[in-house]
Structure 1
Amino acid sequence: MLKACVLDFGGNWANYLPLEKFAYNNSYQSSIGMAPHEALYGRPCRSPLCWIELGESRLLGPEIVQETTEKIQLIKEKLKIAQDRFRNKVILAVKVWWQHHGTEEATWELEEEMR
């Protein structure tokens, strides 16, 4: 399949490796009875074109772009809130390796106590 992509589209074969990996991981494998992605994660891969619920059928168009943009915006807002909440919660600690002792005896010490 990689050879076919390179012959059809031209260019460097390394550019097509992610597409080939995606195609392989989402192709049904008779030896395991499912796609490798499904075997690993317990569910089928949800590519951007398959974010609708099973059983629904609709034409894809600007709506999917709008839905995806809204989901991304919601995730950005939640990440911003989490980052702001934990920004001032830094506890500076250093791992101390005592001379002539192994790494299993290393301890975490507060930076304030080290000064």
Structure 2
Amino acid sequence: MDFAGCSDEHLPLMEFSYNNNYQATIQMAPFEALYGRRLWTPVFWEEVGTQQLMGPKLVQRIGVVAYRLVLPPTVATVHNVFHVSMLRKYTPDPTHIIEDEALPLREDLSYEEAPIKIISRDVKRLRNKEIPLVKVLWGNHLDSEATWEREDDVRKSCLKLFLEQPTFGDESS
């Protein structure tokens, strides 16, 4: 594939591919190392007549290490050629069935993260400075995926969370 002259156009896809590709030096993908879990790629159930099949279908080998896939219309903006290291044989498992929750994906396959709740507060004390932090629960994420953010950053972007939330750590029990 020739990216000469248009690399900035394809940068999000190249970054996505790199961050989700197994790295031998760290024995996992960079995304998994950073977030402690594997990234779920956009593979959805699609009904075709009376037969159900799982998302992508392999249709063509491209060179020695790449394959072209047929993707469901819900992920039509994803480039359909994948390196062999990104592909694995799927073994059906009923626990893999998830509700198809439509995320409003942008053209570059990103989506807007929206904080929905502050679940805890803390203060990081440095030598000469105190940094107030809040633990934020994000939309489309599990409680276990809540992140610690600087309070002033969250306050700037979503003041309503502070108006709706009780104060933490001030209870005397």
TM-score (norm 1): 0.41
Higher fraction of strand:
2
TM-score (norm 2): 0.29
